[in-house]
Chains A and B, each alone.
Chain A
Amino acid sequence: MEAALQTDIQHCYHCGDTCNDGPIEAHDKVFCCDGCKTVYELLEENNLCTYYNLEQTPGITGKQPVAESRFAYLDDAGVTTQLISFRNDSICKLTLYVPQMHCSSCIWLLENLFKLNPGVSASTVNFLRKEVSITYLHQQTTLREVVQLLARIGYEPAITLADTEGKKATKPNRGVIYKLGIAGFCFGNVMLLAFPDYLAGEGIQQTYGQFFGYLSLLLSVPVLLFSARGFFTTAWQGIRQRVVNIDMPISLGLAALFLVSVYQIVFKQGVGYLDSFTGLVFFMLIGKYFQQKTYDTLSFDRDYTSYFPVSITVLKEQGQEESVAVRNLQVGDRIRIRNQELIPADAILLRGQAMIDYSFVSGESEPVEKVTGEVIYAGGRQVGESIELEVVKEVSQGYLTQLWNNAVFSKNESQGIDTYANVAAKWFILATFLVAAGALIYWVPRDTDIAMKAFISVLIIACPCALSLSTPFVHGNTLRIFGKNKFYLKNTAVVETLAKIDTVVFDKTGTLTEPTAAELVYTGKALLPEQAQSIKSVLRHSTHPLSQRIFQSMAGEVKEVQHFRELTGKGLVGEVNGRLVRVGSAAYLGVPAAKEALKTTVYVSVDGVLLGFYTFFNVYRSGLKQILHELNDKQLAVLSGDNDHEAARLQELLGPEAELNFSQSPMQKLAYIQQLKDANRHVLMVGDGLNDAGALRQSDVGIALTNSITNFSPSCDAILDASAFDKLSRFIRFSKKSMNIILGSFAVSLVYNAVGLTFAVMGLFSPIVSAILMPISSLSVILFATLSVRIAAKRAGL
């Protein structure tokens, strides 16, 4: 891995981006921008160039320099206290979330922070959670300096409002590992004690039976009280809410097993079934553990506080700037918002050229111009120069944040989930009790001994372990297969809901369309190379996002521009080689607004002669047509916050039956989904922005589409990586298939139970045989579930 080998003329040595605007050469390396060069120099100076040897071009582009005054709020003692997890006389500890982390070089650099700032005494990375735990000496450095250092080397931590709202970073949940460890230990030992019984029979039983029995009992108590506790509490919750859930038969079975074993051991009736009892708990916990592991790194319940910045620049009376925590923002405060910053509260524009990107709130793809005096809603992102605003509403009262006051967000989800397993559990309990009671009633007048035996055997064999294992294992495997394909479900119940979906609603911007790309079409007279060059030169001077996009799409050199002026909300004017170039809106160039008015267009003229215009089209995600075609058995709809200039194209893509709704506010989206649900439809909503949060929550299944899964996504049932978007219909079909597999495994366990029960009610089983039969039936169901899901996945191409 020789460093020189990687130096490609076209690619930045630091971040690997192509060097578009003329590469910067320094230290025999090529950099795409000053930011990357500065980081390289910083690392080289501190002997940290191992960074480049571990991975090729591991850096993060430094094209957008960070205004370091942004971190001034970290000097605020109140904010610092909220972020820090431990503090004593000399050290402070805290954990920061660094979304940019992506390779082993990142781990290495972040763990060598102490070389860059001697005040940092240790830094430890948790790569899967993208977190870095930092210990620093607060006499030598400050939190602000540490964060600034991270930002300077390209790893700006995401510190959001949620971090300071007292919701301390969730500790890794070790509960299930403890439970698993204890259950495993007890299971192993109980199994060992039960072995002689299986093999040798009566002799050993007589000599050591008592001792073995009580020892097993002792070992089973922690399993009952600690490891299996989760099942009992869930079952108890179910009883209190008057719903039958899957944990109920499990608890019933576990309780029966344990009590019968205690009875047998105490009254010397036999050896009990403690090995089955501990084993069952152990196996079920393994399933839980794997499930939790996959989902540790994802967060499904995020609200606006996860998006909002912690601090904001407030202008004091004498005009000095001060960084203030967003929570302390008051009505009447004057705030300054810089390029790419989020506006945290509804505010009136006082000064500056506001170009607000509302894609977060409304899904509108193009930034909106605002003039002085207009109200700008919270959640908008400023693009361009910095602006001054006056706050008119508190953060929690804003237009966007109001969405979270809707009843949907306070609803308790866990109530009344009618899952397959829960429905089956209901019948299963009923049937088991009927059979057991029947056996008891039949045998009691004839032979009380056999009656007891039959009754217990029925309970043990029918112990719905097979049932309770099949659903989690089918779902668990389905979840894992989805996860491998970058589709992450919140929990197993989502698989069942997904299988029932008959209506699919899409958000447009950022979901159906590629958020970063826009197709540019030029209409009009062909541009001479010289004209194109002049236009490009003029555009270069504008920070307007549309100008930037056109600029990037044009090739060639730029020339010097004289008399350049940018007219807010209108366009640009400048002279190149004595020719007057004007670029801007139709009104600015005196063109009558055509029927194209809804589209985003930019006109160009040279020396007063109109040449033509650029039209921006949304770029739809690749494979969209295919997906929509595959979903044609479902009702399709689009909810867009954008205007309807793409209506014709969308209708063609989605088919004539699809409902298209434009200019929808977040509240309207929520209401639309509600209306569909009232019409008894099972709704799948696919969205991406915060503006879809209400709709995602209201729908049966809300899928948040995101380009980076560890990035922020709104509260939802599932997170889908954008690169797997083309598999959406396959996911839905596969979830249906996995429901069939559950039915199949129910059938398998039913056969077992039918055969077993027949013998049991006839009193033919010795409890030992049923104790052996039970694990076998459990294992076979697990095997069936796992294998058939795998096979089905292979067939479905997942």
Chain B
Amino acid sequence: MSIIFLLIGFSVTVAGCFLGAFLWAVKSGQFDDDYTPAVRMLFDNESSGKKQAEPKK
């Protein structure tokens, strides 16, 4: 049954990784605006050959 210690160790580590990813996402501003990106992704990219919008930071 000592496998449980190992399993719990793993699960907490994995969960911790997700928490870290979440904190990173918040820090990089992904939760600051939850409306505009939804609209932005619906804009068609024009094939005019002109410079495309730079990746958003």
Interface residues on A, range: 20 to 34
Q: Is the CB of B33 within 8 A of A107?
A: no
| Interface residue A115 (Cβ < 8 Å from any Cβ of B) | yes
| Minimum CB–CB distance for A138 against chain B, Å | 17
In the bound complex, what is the Cα–Cα distance between A104 and B36 (angstroms)?
A: 9
Tell which of A124-132, A386-394, A648-656, A718-726 binds the partner.
A124-132
Contact B39 A174 (CB under 8 A): no
Chain B residues, CB < 8 A from A127: 33, 35-36, 39
| Complex interface residues of chain B between 1 and 39 (CB less than 8 A to chain A) | 1, 4-5, 8, 11-12, 15-16, 18-19, 22-23, 26-27, 29, 31-33, 35-36, 39
Once A111-B40, A181-B26 are accepted as A-B contacts, the answer to whether A47 and B46 lie under 8 Å apart by CB is yes
Contact B26 A177 (CB under 8 A): yes
What residues of chain A lie closer than 8 Å to B40, measured between beta carbons? 107, 111, 125
- Shortest CB-to-CB span from B38 to chain A, Å, is 9
Given contact pairs A112-B53, A122-B56, A122-B57, A181 touches B39 in the complex (Cβ within 8 A): no
CB distance from B1 to the nearest CB of A (A): 7
CB of A208 closer than 8 Å to a CB of B: yes
Q: How far is the CB of B36 from chain A (nearest CB, A)?
A: 4
Assuming the contacts A108-B43, A207-B1, asked whether A128 and B27 have C-beta atoms less than 8 A apart, the reply is no
**Chain A positions within 8 Å of B51 at CB level:** 114-115
Q: A185-B15, A185-B19 are in contact. Are A122 and B1 (CB under 8 A)?
A: no
- Does A423 sit at the interface, judged by CB under 8 A? no
Are A107 and B36 within 8 A (Cβ)?
A: yes
Annotate A24-64 by CB proximity to B: 1 below 8 A, 0 otherwise. Answer: 00000000000000000000000100100010000000000
A255-270 with Cβ < 8 A to chain B: none
Q: How far is the CB of B50 from chain A (nearest CB, A)?
A: 7
Q: Are B19 and A182 in contact (CB under 8 A)?
A: yes
Chain A residues contacting B12 (CB-CB under 8 Å) are: 189, 215
A172 interface contact, C-beta 8 A: yes
A290 within 8 A of B: no
A121-165 vs B: 1/0 string, CB under 8 Å? 110111111000000000000000000000000000000000000
Q: Beyond the given A50-B46, A122-B57, A127-B36, please list 11 additional residue pairs across the A-B interface where CB-CB is below 8 A.
A: A47-B50, A107-B40, A114-B51, A122-B54, A124-B57, A126-B36, A172-B33, A181-B19, A181-B22, A208-B4, A215-B12
Which B residues contact A (CB, under 8 angstroms)? 1, 4-5, 8, 11-12, 15-16, 18-19, 22-23, 26-27, 29, 31-33, 35-36, 39-40, 42-44, 46, 48, 50-51, 53-54, 56-57
User: Taking beta carbons and an 8 Å cutoff, which residues of A are in contact with B?
Assistant: 47, 50, 54, 104, 107-108, 111-112, 114-115, 121-122, 124-129, 172, 174, 177-178, 181-182, 185, 188-189, 192-193, 207-208, 211, 215
Listed by A's residue number, 21 A-B pairs whose Cβ atoms lie within 8 Å are: A47-B46, A50-B44, A104-B42, A107-B40, A111-B53, A114-B51, A115-B50, A122-B53, A124-B36, A126-B36, A127-B36, A128-B35, A129-B33, A172-B33, A177-B26, A177-B31, A181-B19, A185-B18, A192-B11, A193-B8, A208-B4
